[in-house]
Chain A
């Protein structure tokens, strides 16, 4: 029997899946970050949050573009708690300073405190937490217990002592506050990182990578950490806001930024004097703070999605 009805084989150039299935062996695989970037720039969440943050940075760098009212001079007690008037759209603080101008000029210090503290906490906390969780054993014992020591320090005691150091006593600046916050807040970040790393370190893909000859440390950086990023990002974005508010608490206790440095924290602490009479004075710095935190939460969300290896292009 001659077989004239052979198996149908589709011509190879007909299927559109070809492009998808092709393994481009001549091309290096996209790096994690390049891949993330490609995904990021198409996400509306990322675009909106980046624009907001960009705007905040411009305000922080060039407050003079947005208001010509000096924030700290010409406060007249006669204007105390006054409502909005021409040229003063938000009204006046307890001391009769222009609220709008203070909020604009406060951006720089507050944003610096928030971002710098978060960066410090990230660097210290993620490094130590990742090493502790990944290597375990005595490394974990030493690093985790070191964290415990700092965790047990009462905030106000730490802050009081640090601001008394000769380095900071004479010129308190944004860095003083950043130092206090970072020193006392890194153990939290370290613990979260450690927990997330412990969760990931036994995953199959880590074992596989090491079996393929990837060094133990490289496996931590390339495979474990990217998979442990979600809680770190959540913590970092929320802490940005919490740190800015923490500066308010420090100012309130008299160990924060000096009066001459405008900050939302200083304003929030100052608005306490009006809380029974004109609570809305508090709203303006608090709203600025909320917008900032919201932008960073949205950005964090978008970055996390883009970095999530589970949804990565292969």
Chain B
């Protein structure tokens, strides 16, 4: 098992290089001079633009720029963004906020998605099943920018149940509303994945055996059906954690969350290569670790799955 984990962690290296190279190249390929774009309709003297360009190595060929980024990374110096602020400091600001938001959203979708999914799966075609089907359709068909806006207006402004925006000093309470909005779309996935698995496993032999042994219904459902139904759900949640950490651009925008999504969006609009690649570097680590956790969970959920071969 230890070897398996070590081997997986070593795989970070090619993924890291592949991703950063690809992302850096994409930023490089974007049209438009990012420095000129900083200034808008009236440009500063050309000397200002050219000096900034060489200051950020934008006049170098792609491979030199990428090499400089790697060199900086290994000396633990991410450099400055185009406004002259150290990138490391801004990453240290945004990642904790988004991590809190992601955990909160993940908890909401996992708890409600699995619970509702089990009930719906046990009584397929029942009124509960039909109701949640319609509810999940609403969540999917209404885009986040509308859903977020409506939630903000109703719960934040009109009812005053939650803080309508997050802003500085984000805490669990102020992040609740965006977490619910974020969790809702994925909630539909979790719910329907759970429902499908549960209804499939309900008729499995081991369930009949367990029932025949005289186990109570809740125990059969929790210990046998649910545990065996969780693999797709866990896979999805693991992948989704990565997605959430990448920041939800729309949701973070609506609720003014000073998180990764907002930062990334601004950086992409500014074609700010170093910031984008730094964020993506952290994300790569998150993805690889979350994938690893998911694979370890597989083995725990289903003892037939073994990795030490």
Shortest C-beta distance, A264 to chain B (Å), equals: 9
Tell me, in angstroms, the Cα distance from A90 to B163 when the chains sit together. Answer: 36
Most chain-B CB neighbours within 10 Å: which of A157, A245, A249? A157
B231 within 8 A of A: yes
The interface size bin for chain A is 35 or more
Shortest C-beta distance, B150 to chain A (Å), equals: 8
Query: Which residue from B19, B250, B268 sits with its C-beta under 8 Å from A152?
Result: B19
B62 within 8 A of A: no
Query: Which residue from B136, B188, B246, B284 sits with its C-beta under 8 Å from A148?
Result: B284
Q: Given A161-B29, A164-B29, A275–B234 Cβ distance below 8 Å?
A: no
B197 within 8 A of A: yes
Most chain-B CB neighbours within 10 Å: which of A164, A231, A237, A268? A231
Chain B residues with CB below 8 A from A146, complex form: 18
Most chain-B CB neighbours within 10 Å: which of A203, A238, A304? A238
Q: B68-76, B139-147, B174-182: which one contacts chain A?
A: B139-147
Q: A73-81, A173-181, A193-201, A211-219: which one contacts chain B?
A: A193-201
Tell me, in angstroms, the Cα distance from A126 to B287 when the chains sit together. Answer: 20
Q: Given A164-B31, A195-B231, A154–B305 Cβ distance below 8 Å?
A: no
Shortest C-beta distance, B16 to chain A (Å), equals: 9
CB pair B196 A230 closer than 8 Å? yes
CB pair A156 B29 closer than 8 Å? no
- A interface, over-half SS: helix
Tell me, in angstroms, the Cα distance from A242 to B23 when the chains sit together. Answer: 25
Q: Closest residue to A305 on the B side, CB-wise?
A: B199
Q: What 1/0 mask marks residues of chain B from 18 to 55 whose CB sits below 8 Å from any chain A CB?
A: 11001100110111000000000000000000000000
Q: A17-25, A27-35, A62-70, A288-296: which one contacts chain B?
A: A288-296
CB pair B276 A272 closer than 8 Å? no
CB pair A202 B304 closer than 8 Å? yes
Q: What 1/0 mask marks residues of chain A from 142 to 169 whose CB sits below 8 Å from any chain B CB?
A: 0011101101111111101100100000
Residues of chain B in range 109-157 having any CB-CB distance to chain A below 8 Å: 133, 136-138, 140-146, 149
Chain A residues with CB below 8 A from B284, complex form: 148, 152
Q: Closest residue to A169 on the B side, CB-wise?
A: B31
CB pair B30 A154 closer than 8 Å? no
Chain A residues with CB below 8 A from B60, complex form: none
- B interface, over-half SS: helix
Q: What 1/0 mask marks residues of chain A from 280 to 314 whose CB sits below 8 Å from any chain B CB?
A: 00100011011001100100000010001011000
Q: What 1/0 mask marks residues of chain A from 230 to 242 whose CB sits below 8 Å from any chain B CB?
A: 1101110110011
Chain A residues with CB below 8 A from B189, complex form: 234-235, 238
Chain B residues with CB below 8 A from A199, complex form: 231, 298, 302, 305
CB pair B246 A289 closer than 8 Å? no
Q: Given A145-B14, A149-B18, A238-B188, A191–B250 Cβ distance below 8 Å?
A: no
Chain A residues with CB below 8 A from B264, complex form: 154
B185 within 8 A of A: yes
Question: What number of B residues sit within 8 Å (CB to CB) of A?
Answer: 65
Q: Closest residue to B309 on the A side, CB-wise?
A: A136
Tell me, in angstroms, the Cα distance from A178 to B31 when the chains sit together. Answer: 22
CB pair B232 A192 closer than 8 Å? yes
Shortest C-beta distance, B204 to chain A (Å), equals: 7
Residues of chain A in range 116-149 having any CB-CB distance to chain B below 8 Å: 136-137, 141, 144-146, 148-149
Q: B85-93, B164-172, B213-221, B235-243: which one contacts chain A?
A: B235-243
Shortest C-beta distance, B148 to chain A (Å), equals: 11
Shortest C-beta distance, A269 to chain B (Å), equals: 8
Shortest C-beta distance, A141 to chain B (Å), equals: 6
CB pair B15 A145 closer than 8 Å? yes
Chain B residues with CB below 8 A from A202, complex form: 304-306
B56 within 8 A of A: no
CB pair B141 A289 closer than 8 Å? yes
Tell me, in angstroms, the Cα distance from A156 to B276 when the chains sit together. Answer: 12
Residues of chain B in range 198-230 having any CB-CB distance to chain A below 8 Å: 200, 203-204
Query: Which residue from A149, A160, A248 sits with its C-beta under 8 Å from B143?
Result: A248
A72 within 8 A of B: no
Tell me, in angstroms, the Cα distance from A148 to B292 when the chains sit together. Answer: 12
Q: What 1/0 mask marks residues of chain A from 5 to 49 whose CB sits below 8 Å from any chain B CB?
A: 000000000000000000000000000000000000000000000
Q: Which 5 A-B pairs have the closest CB atoms?
A: A231-B232, A195-B235, A290-B141, A241-B140, A161-B26
Interface residues of B (CB under 8 A from A): 7, 11, 14-15, 18-19, 22-23, 26-27, 29-31, 133, 136-138, 140-146, 149, 185, 188-189, 192-193, 195-197, 200, 203-204, 231-232, 234-236, 238-239, 242-243, 246, 249-250, 264-265, 268, 276, 280, 283-284, 287-288, 291, 294, 298, 302, 304-306, 309
List 13 A-B pairs, Cβ < 8 Å. Answer: A144-B291, A148-B15, A148-B287, A148-B291, A149-B22, A231-B196, A234-B193, A237-B192, A238-B140, A241-B141, A290-B137, A293-B140, A311-B203
Interface residues of A (CB under 8 A from B): 136-137, 141, 144-146, 148-149, 151-158, 160-161, 164, 187-188, 191-192, 194-196, 198-199, 202-203, 230-231, 233-235, 237-238, 241-242, 245, 248-249, 252, 268, 272, 275, 282, 286-287, 289-290, 293-294, 297, 304, 308, 310-311
Given A157-B27, A198-B305, A290-B138; 15 other pairs, CB 8 A cutoff: A136-B309, A141-B7, A145-B18, A148-B15, A154-B268, A188-B239, A196-B231, A231-B197, A234-B192, A234-B193, A235-B236, A272-B146, A294-B137, A297-B137, A297-B192
